[in-house]
């Protein structure tokens, strides 16, 4: 698992060849590192089990929804650190926001609205799919 300096504002990444990357200059502690690893490992699980087509925005949106929801990316504490505070359905709001942000890096994504539309289209089915876990983190 390569650990590298990243110029983008990301803490890790997953490549379709199965490589998980960690960005040492963007990880701010043990919990953040564990959350990032869990996020990227969910992409690896999805790639292996569902044969994700990364240029298909709906496929990409689904794995980003699952990774944001199941990894701990959207815990109340993580959101507080980001300055995002909310109570009603905040987990879902965070998952949608983070999935759309990830889609913006996809060459097939034309805009923020395009990313949000792809996320909204698959949100319900992907958000409720907690495999390989029994429940949300």
- The residues that are catalytic are 40
Q: Does residue 67 contact residue 39 with C-beta atoms inside 8 Å?
A: yes
**DSSP letters spanning 31-74:** HHHHHHHHHHHHHHHHHHHH---TTSHHHHHHHHHHHHHHSSTT
If you write DSSP's letter for every residue of 15-29 in order, what string do you get? -TTS-EEEETTT--S
Nearest by Cα to 102 from 39, 48, 52: 39
How far CA 88 is from CA of 22, 85, 124, in Å, comes to 32, 10, 17
């Amino acid at each position: 698992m390569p650990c590298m300096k990243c110029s983008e504002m990301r803490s890790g990444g997953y490549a379709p060849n199965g490589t998980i990357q960690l960005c040492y200059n963007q990880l701010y502690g043990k919990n953040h590192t564990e959350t990032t690893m869990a996020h990227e490992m969910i992409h690896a699980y999805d790639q292996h089990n569902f044969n994700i087509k990364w240029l298909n925005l709906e496929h990409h949106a689904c794995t980003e929804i699952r990774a944001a929801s199941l990894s701990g990316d959207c815990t109340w504490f993580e959101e507080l650190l980001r300055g995002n505070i909310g109570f009603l359905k905040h987990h879902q709001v965070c998952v949608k926001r983070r999935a759309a942000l990830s889609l913006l890096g996809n060459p097939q994504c034309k805009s923020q609205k395009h990313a949000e539309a792809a996320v909204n289209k698959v949100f319900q089915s992907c958000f409720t799919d907690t495999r390989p876990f029994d429940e949300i983190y």
